[in-house]
């Protein structure tokens, strides 16, 4: 009974409101401006303009005391081709790819089981996936640190079992970083794959079996191709934040595993070479945009 | 698997069944292990927040000391307060402008719509670190010029954090609300108009109530994104504007102590309550 | 509709307040015009001409149907009357007033939507009360009118239900009540029975017709179902490709179709091509392509030599074996197919290499064993009354 309880505003105000609404109703351009305006303004001022400034900075010189000197150069980009920085780039892409693949290998069968579970279990299982996902990322990364420390639970357990004699150095290794990335972004893989398997028509499996396909064939020839949109979406959703990850390599890599985001951080806050930091930022953006474009290209080819 | 039951060959059946169940066993094992993987770290963390020992590797008995200490910790209180202020303001603003943007994209035609749409998705795709330093650079420059031109002395603080949070949250709200709007049965609005509802009445009594679940979902997402954010906050915070993630980060960098466990556990609990609460809310609405 | 239902609805009927007696004795076409369409045209942004110069006059209290295949423009026409679409050119007049760009909420018409468009977040009561609340009608009057409207559609006791808790038929009735409670001048119905199953649809057809007679409101009914239109309507406008092809009572439309499309779309027709060889008073002789000359009654005879189509409905054709004494038929042919459907038997008769004629023969004899059906291959002669066939020039 929402309608009945409304307070009657003053008739005059009502009339004016109606009149204003009438004008907005008749002019679509005005309507669009009013609706899209606030968001557009925010986007322009606090996103596009800042990015544009970074772009401009990436062609500038470093001034004294970490200031920016306006003189055009492409040195910041050529400098990137130093092996030191190429390595950071390669490590980032490699660790992100590895994390994506591990997420896929764990996530696909996981999503499959949830999607095939009885309907009343499905939501409960999904909530169980979502709870760690909605937990603060820093808290989760911290929890991993606790487990991996030299005096953490895993090392203690292994020592107690006699598997090892000295604590294994696990924290501050690429292993820890990949573990952290997988832990952080696994739900990003599971959810879209779940969505596509849930939509999948399983009578197609019966049809394939009826035509003589075994389980293996059914998976590769029927299930996987038809759930590929979910796989692609999940992969891009894991890869993009992984390749640009900052907290995970910072805390779990402890300065020993340096990814692109750490390099940017270093250039901005420690070295104070903002133009080079800006150039690295644009390299990172290029990787991400390339991955996104690849995703759309692959997705388009798949859409029959 | 049902088609196998009707297969005439009795010899094939037992073997195939065994293989199928073996496959399922492996699948179930994968699910169990994945859940262990997802929950072990946070469960261990929570358990050790009740550990009486300062050294964390051994269990020395149950205590609530760390929680008591946290409650009296002024820094934690301020950080929590900052986080909430930023999250509430940015959620409010991004929900409003995100919903408006969604309406613009779904309900109007304008010349630069494709461009607008593309620009809107960018903050979702662009790596956090890039957006973080971009805003840092922007605010730096803006503050310099405001000082130089108008003598306006501004600095990094809750304001910059909130502005930044709105910038990355509202596109998410727009995406969520837009999805709901795309599913919207427009004949409902026509029916309302047909029954004499003006544009405003139609929006107030039909469109808005039916869009509400989407708007609430978007607001919840914006709130979580804001409370959760570390990277962008880290680069755009000032003196005295430490948020909870920044506080945890600072403490973790200084060395692991049990009070971080307590704080993290409380935050974990808060997000569980938030998720379950919103799910219950949704269920009530759809039931 | 029960008699008690009729008594209860007096308050709802417009005629009760403004001269049931004055209007009651008038024949529909003598009553004032409620809705007039003048050269109404709608061209969509993509260039599709959805409605093409449609002119119609719909009288007060009429049950008027717009009938045609999907995409013929009937729904667009209705939406222009309701005000959801604006005409590209032409005009909609309601009660003699040109509507121009008047928004839907300022038009004295209400619509029953194809999918009912019930507000899912409101109870049945709130749905029905919605229109009255928008007009800021006092609360107790709303309560009274909603109660009446729900009684009218026999949904008392469902006030607190939500639409999803109702069956399709009940939802449909809520949609009707929600529209009628506003006492509109005209009720627009857009395939309101389309979503119901066949049995329920048949029931609702009769109920709708009774309801319309009870409340005395003009109904404009859009449908693609010719049987539905014939059952309920006072008059029908047959539309195709944005144009109105014929307007008339169900009998006129069925018995005297003016074009091949109407003859084909309403019921079933055989079309025989031929040429006019003789023109008499009210009658022409047509030489069919197979060579048979037949005489057909015709009001506006075309000139000699005109290529025409002769339409004749299958059930109007008498069929007899060619050697039978009464076989002085108009057309001769050979049975090609026999389809027995219980009440009737269909024969497909080939009369020339290109032409077959379908004949529907009622199985009305006392006993009919299989032997009495004409077997395939039988030479037959076909025959019909002169006024059973129509000459179509288009």
Helix axes A83-116, B12-48, angle to 10 degrees: 120
Say whether A145 sits in a helix, a strand or coil. Answer: helix
Phi/psi for C49 (5° steps) reads -90, 105
Chains touching chain C at 3 or more Cβ pairs under 8 angstroms?
A: A, B
Q: Directed axis angle between helix B113-125 and helix B158-182, to 10°? A: 120
CA–CA dist C19, C243 (Å, integer) = 36
Q: What is the mean pLDDT of residues B136-161?
A: 89
Contact B187 C115 (CB under 8 A): yes
| Helix runs in chain C, H state only | 3-8, 14-17, 20-24, 74-82, 124-134, 139-152, 168-180, 198-215, 226-232, 250-255, 260-265
**Chain B interface disruption, residue of A36, A263, A274, most B CBs within 10 A:** A36
- Specify the pLDDT at position C365: 64
pLDDT band at A239 (very low <50, low <70, confident <90, very high): very high
The pLDDT score that the predictor gives to residue B67 is 83
At C249-275, the pLDDT tens digits run: 998 888 888 888 888 888 888 888 888
Over range C287-312, report the average pLDDT. 78
CB contact B215 to C (< 8 Å): no
Higher pLDDT, A22 or C41: C41
Host H or E run for residue B79: helix B74-107
Which 3-state string (H, E, C) describes C246-288?
EEECHHHHHHCCCCHHHHHHCCCCEEEEEEEEEEECCEEEEEE
Query: Where is pLDDT greater, at B131 or C256?
Result: B131
Separation in Å, CA of B87 to nearest CA in chain C: 30
pLDDT for position B201: 87
* C97 in contact with chain A, both atoms CB, cutoff 8 A: no
- DSSP bridge pairs for C392: C309
Inter-CA distances, A209 with A206, B18, C35, C84, Å: 5, 17, 62, 51
Q: Is the pLDDT of residue B147 over 70?
A: yes
Instruction: Report the distance separating Cα A126 and Cα A273, nearest Å.
Output: 45
pLDDT score of C214: 85
List, as ranges, residues 109-128 from C with C-beta within 8 Å of A. Answer: 122, 126
Q: Say if residue C2's pLDDT is above 80.
A: no
Tell whether A214 and A93 lie within a shared domain. yes
Answer yes or no: is A128 within a domain: yes
CATH superfamily of domain region B73-286: MetI-like (1.10.3720.10)
pLDDT by residue (tens digit) across C80-92?
A: 999 888 899 999 9
Looking at residues A142-153, what average pLDDT do you find? 83
- What tens digit of pLDDT does each residue of B14-68 get? 444 444 567 778 888 888 888 888 888 888 888 888 888 776 667 777 888 788 8
Q: Is residue B248 within 8 angstroms of chain C, CB to CB?
A: no
In the DSSP assignment, the letter for residue A221 is: I
Q: What is the DSSP string of B218-266?
A: HHHHHHHHHHH--HHHHHH--TT---HHHHHHHHHHH---HHHHHHHHH
With a CB cutoff of 8 Å and minimum separation 6, the contacts of B255 are none
**Strands C109-112 vs A68-69: parallel, antiparallel or unpaired:** unpaired
Chain A residues in contact with B198 by the CB 8 A cut-off are 18, 21
Decide: C187 and C152 in contact? Cβ < 8 Å. Answer: no
Mean pLDDT over each residue of chain B, to the nearest integer: 83
Residue C163 at interface with chain B, using a CB cutoff of 8 Å: no
Q: How far is CA C254 from CA A5, A149, C233, C251, C341, in A?
A: 53, 89, 13, 5, 23
**Per-residue pLDDT at B199 exceeds 50:** yes
Euclidean distance between CA atoms B95 and A166, whole angstroms? 53
The conformation of residue C380, written as its DSSP 8-state character, comes to E
| Same structural domain, A31 and A111 | no
Query: Per residue in C94-111, pLDDT tens?
Result: 888 888 888 888 888 888
Which residues of chain B are within 8 Å of residue A48 when distances are taken between CB atoms? 119, 122
Report the C-alpha gap between C35 and C220 in whole angstroms.
9
| pLDDT at residue A145 tops 90 | no
- List Cβ<8 Å contacts ≥24 apart for A65-74: A65/A272, A66/A271, A66/A272, A66/A273, A66/A274, A68/A274, A68/A275, A73/A275
Question: Which residues in B lie closer than 8 A to residue A285 (C-beta atoms)?
Answer: 126-127, 130
Q: CA B203, CA B212: separation in Å to the nearest integer?
A: 12
Which residues from A are below 8 Å from B137, CB to CB? 50, 53-54, 57, 274, 278
Partner A contacted by C386 (CB < 8 A): no
B231-249 tens-digit pLDDT: 999 999 888 888 989 988 9
Min Cα separation B43/chain A (Å): 9
Measured at the alpha carbon of residue C220, what is the angle toward residues C215 and C223, in degrees to the nearest 5? 125
Instruction: State the nearest Cα–Cα gap between C55 and chain A, in angstroms.
Output: 28
How far B104 CA lies from chain C's nearest CA (Å)? 20
Any C CB within 8 A of B271 CB: no
Q: Domain limits at A88?
A: 75-302
The model's pLDDT over A35-68, given as tens digits with 9 standing for 90+, comes to 888 988 999 999 999 999 999 888 888 877 767 7
List Cβ neighbours of C219 (8 Å cut-off, separation of 6 or more): C62, C63, C64, C186, C187, C189, C208, C212
Whether C209 has a pLDDT exceeding 80, the answer reads yes
Residue A182 clears pLDDT 90, i.e. is over it: yes
Closest CA to C61 of C38, C32, C82, C83: C32
Q: Distance (Å, rounded) from C-alpha B242 to C-alpha B233? A: 9
Sheet of strand C49-59, all strands in order from the earlier edge strand to the far edge: C49-59, C33-43, C89-94, C97-98
What pairs with residue C365 in β-bridges?
none
Tokens of residue B31, six digits: 């699910």
Are A106 and A153 members of one domain? yes
pLDDT bin (cut points 50, 70, 90) of residue C70 is: confident
Nearest by Cα to C347 from C365, C333, C359, C331? C359
Going C320 to C322 to C326 to C328, the CA torsion angle's sign is positive
In this structure, are A36 and A148 located in the same domain?
Answer: no
Residue C24 scores a pLDDT above 70 = no
Using a CB-CB cut-off of 8 Å, the residues of chain B touching A265 are 129
Between CA A176 and CA A154 the distance in angstroms is 13
Q: Residue B198 above 50 pLDDT?
A: yes
Query: Does residue A69 belong to any structural domain of this protein?
Result: no
Q: Is the dihedral of CA C11, C15, C18, C22 positive or negative?
A: negative
Residue A84 and residue A191 share a domain? yes
Is the pLDDT reported for residue C357 higher than 60? yes
Judgement on whether residues A141 and A87 belong to the same structural domain of the protein: yes
Dist CA C105 CA B190 (whole Å): 9
On the CB side of A228, CA atoms within 13 Å amount to: 16
Q: How many CB atoms lie within 10 A of CB A101?
A: 15
Location of structure tokens 């010899």? B11
ipTM metric: 0.83
Supply the pLDDT for residue C64. 93
For residue C81, give the chain B residue with the closest CA: B194
Query: pLDDT value at position C235?
Result: 92
Q: Which chains touch B (3 or more CB pairs under 8 A)?
A: A, C
Tell me, yes or no, whether A38 and A141 share the same domain: no
Question: C101-106: long-range contacts (C-beta < 8 A, 24 or more apart)?
Answer: C103/A25, C103/B193, C103/B198, C103/B199, C104/B190, C104/B193, C104/B194, C105/B193, C105/B194, C105/B195, C105/B196, C105/B197, C105/B198, C105/B201, C105/C134
Chain C residues with CB under 8 Å of B193 CB are: 83-84, 103-105
Check A3 against C103: CB less than 8 A apart: no
- The CATH number assigned to the domain holding A274 equals 1.10.3720.10
- Best mutation site among C79, C105, C185, C195 for testing chain B: the one with the most B CBs within 10 Å? C105
CB contact set of A157 (below 8 Å; sequence gap of 6+): none
Are residues A140 and A44 both part of a single domain? no
DSSP type of residue A259: -
Q: Is residue A17 part of a domain?
A: yes
Contact B210 C121 (CB under 8 A): yes
Check pLDDT > 50 for residue C15: no
Evaluate whether residue A246 is within a structural domain. yes
Longest dimension (CA), chain C: 80
Q: How far is B201 from chain A (nearest CA, A)?
A: 10
- Asked, for residue A68, whether it belongs to a domain, the answer is no
Q: How far apart are CA B266 and CA C260, in angstroms?
A: 79
Report pLDDT digits (tens) over B60-104: 778 887 888 888 888 888 999 999 999 999 999 999 999 999 988
In this predicted structure, what is the pLDDT of residue A304?
A: 39
Tell me the three state secondary structure of residue A285.
helix
Calpha distance C222→C241 (Å, rounded): 15
Give the integer Cα–Cα distance in Å for C235 and C219: 11
The verdict on B37 touching A (C-beta cutoff 8 Å) is: yes
* Confidence category of residue C9, pLDDT binned at 50, 70, 90: very low
CA distances from B243 to B89, B106, B229, B230 (A): 14, 36, 9, 9
Q: How many domains does chain A have?
A: 2
Query: Is the Cβ pair B198, A140 closer than 8 Å?
Result: no
| A124 Cβ neighbours under 8 A, 6+ residues apart | none
Check if the beta carbon of residue B134 is closer than 8 Å to that of residue A281. yes
Which chain C residues have a beta carbon less than 8 Å from that of B187? Answer: 113-115, 117
* Residue A5 within any structural domain of the chain: no
């Amino acid at each position: 009974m929402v309608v009945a309880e409304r307070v009657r505003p003053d008739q005059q105000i009502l009339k004016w409101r109606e009149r204003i609404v009438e004008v907005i109703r008749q002019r679509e351009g005005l309507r669009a401006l009013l609706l899209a305006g606030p968001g557009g303004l925010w986007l322009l001022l606090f996103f596009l303009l800042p990015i544009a400034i970074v772009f401009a900075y990436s062609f500038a010189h470093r001034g004294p005391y970490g200031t920016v000197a306006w003189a055009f150069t492409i040195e910041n980009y050529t400098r990137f081709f130093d092996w030191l920085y190429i390595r950071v780039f390669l490590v980032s892409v490699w660790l992100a790819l590895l994390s994506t693949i591990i997420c896929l290998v764990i996530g696909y069968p996981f999503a499959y089981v949830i999607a095939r579970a009885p309907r009343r279990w499905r939501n409960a299982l999904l909530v169980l996936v979502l709870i760690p996902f909605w937990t603060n990322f820093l808290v989760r990364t911290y929890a991993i640190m606790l487990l991996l420390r030299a005096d953490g639970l895993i090392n203690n357990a292994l020592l107690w079992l006699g598997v090892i004699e000295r604590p294994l150095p696990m924290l501050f290794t690429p292993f820890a970083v990949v573990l952290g990335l997988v832990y952080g972004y696994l739900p990003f893989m599971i959810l879209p794959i779940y969505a596509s398997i849930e939509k999948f028509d399983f009578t197609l499996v019966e049809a394939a079996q009826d035509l003589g396909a075994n389980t293996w064939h059914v998976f590769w020839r029927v299930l996987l191709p038809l759930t590929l949109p979910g796989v692609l979406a999940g992969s891009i959703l894991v890869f993009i934040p992984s390749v640009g990850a900052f907290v995970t390599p910072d805390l779990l890599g402890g300065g020993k595993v340096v990814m692109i985001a750490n390099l940017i951080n270093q250039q901005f806050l420690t070295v104070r070479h903002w133009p080079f930091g800006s150039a690295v930022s644009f390299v990172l953006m290029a990787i991400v945009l390339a991955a996104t474009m690849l995703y759309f290209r692959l997705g388009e080819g798949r859409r029959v | 698997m049902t088609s196998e039951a009707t297969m005439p060959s009795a010899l094939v059946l037992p073997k195939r069944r065994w293989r199928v169940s073996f496959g399922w066993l492996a699948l179930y094992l994968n699910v169990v292990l994945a859940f262990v993987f997802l929950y072990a770290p946070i469960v261990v963390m929570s358990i050790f927040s009740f550990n009486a020992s300062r050294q964390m590797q051994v269990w020395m008995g149950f205590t609530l000391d760390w929680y008591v200490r946290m409650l009296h910790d002024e820094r934690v209180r301020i950080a929590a307060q900052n986080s909430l202020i930023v999250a509430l303001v940015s959620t409010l603003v991004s929900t409003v402008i995100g919903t408006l943007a969604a309406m613009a994209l779904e309900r109007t035609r304008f010349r630069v719509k494709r461009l607008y749409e593309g620009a809107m998705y960018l903050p979702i795709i662009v790596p956090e670190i890039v957006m973080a330093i971009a805003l840092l650079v922007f605010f730096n420059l803006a503050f310099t010029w405001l000082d130089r031109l108008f003598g306006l002395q501004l600095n990094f603080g809750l304001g910059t954090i909130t502005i930044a949070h709105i910038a990355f949250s509202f596109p998410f709200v727009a995406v969520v609300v837009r999805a709901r709007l795309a599913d919207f049965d427009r004949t409902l609005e026509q029916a309302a108009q047909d029954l004499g509802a003006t544009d405003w009445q139609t929006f107030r009594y039909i469109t808005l109530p039916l869009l509400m679940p989407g708007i609430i979902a978007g607001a919840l997402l914006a709130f979580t994104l804001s409370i959760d954010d570390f990277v962008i906050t880290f680069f755009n915070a000032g003196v005295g504007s430490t948020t909870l993630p920044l506080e945890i980060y600072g403490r973790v960098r200084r060395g692991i102590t049990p009070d971080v466990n307590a704080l993290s556990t409380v935050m974990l609990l808060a997000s569980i309550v938030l998720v379950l609460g919103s799910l219950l809310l949704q269920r009530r609405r759809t039931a | 509709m029960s008699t008690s239902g009729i008594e209860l609805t007096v308050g709802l009927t417009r005629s009760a307040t403004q001269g049931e007696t004055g209007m009651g004795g008038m024949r529909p076409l003598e009553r004032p015009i409620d809705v007039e369409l003048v050269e109404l045209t709608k061209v969509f942004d993509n260039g599709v001409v959805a409605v093409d110069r449609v002119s119609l006059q719909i009288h007060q209290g009429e049950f008027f149907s717009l009938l045609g295949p999907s995409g013929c423009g009937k729904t667009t026409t209705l939406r222009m009357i309701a005000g959801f679409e604006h005409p590209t050119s032409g005009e909609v007049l309601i009660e003699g007033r040109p509507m121009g760009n008047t928004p839907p909420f300022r038009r004295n018409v209400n619509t029953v939507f194809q999918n009912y468009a019930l507000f899912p977040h409101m109870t049945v009561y709130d749905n029905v009360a919605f229109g009255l609340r928008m007009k800021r009608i006092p609360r107790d009057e709303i309560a009274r009118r909603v109660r009446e409207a729900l009684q009218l559609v026999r949904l008392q006791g469902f006030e607190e239900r939500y639409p999803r808790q109702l069956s399709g038929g009940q939802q449909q009735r809520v949609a009707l009540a929600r529209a009628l409670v506003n006492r509109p001048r005209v009720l627009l119905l857009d395939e309101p029975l389309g979503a119901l199953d066949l049995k329920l649809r048949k029931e609702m057809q009769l109920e709708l017709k009774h309801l319309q007679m009870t409340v005395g409101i003009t109904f404009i009914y859009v449908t693609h179902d010719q049987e539905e239109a014939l059952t309920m309507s006072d008059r029908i406008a047959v539309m195709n490709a944005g144009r109105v092809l014929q307007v008339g009572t169900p009998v006129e439309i069925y018995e005297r179709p003016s074009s091949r499309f109407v003859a084909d779309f309403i019921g079933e027709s055989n079309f025989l091509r031929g040429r006019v060889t003789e023109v008499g008073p009210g009658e022409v002789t047509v030489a069919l392509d197979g060579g048979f000359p037949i005489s057909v009654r015709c009001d506006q005879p075309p000139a000699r030599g005109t290529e025409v189509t002769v339409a004749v409905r299958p059930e109007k054709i008498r069929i007899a074996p060619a050697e039978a004494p009464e076989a002085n038929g108009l057309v001769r042919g050979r049975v090609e197919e026999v389809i027995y459907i219980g009440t009737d038997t269909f024969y497909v008769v080939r009369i020339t290499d290109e032409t077959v004629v379908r004949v529907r023969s009622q199985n009305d004899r006392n006993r009919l064993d299989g032997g009495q059906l004409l077997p395939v291959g039988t030479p037959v002669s076909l025959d019909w009354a002169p006024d059973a066939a129509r000459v179509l020039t288009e």
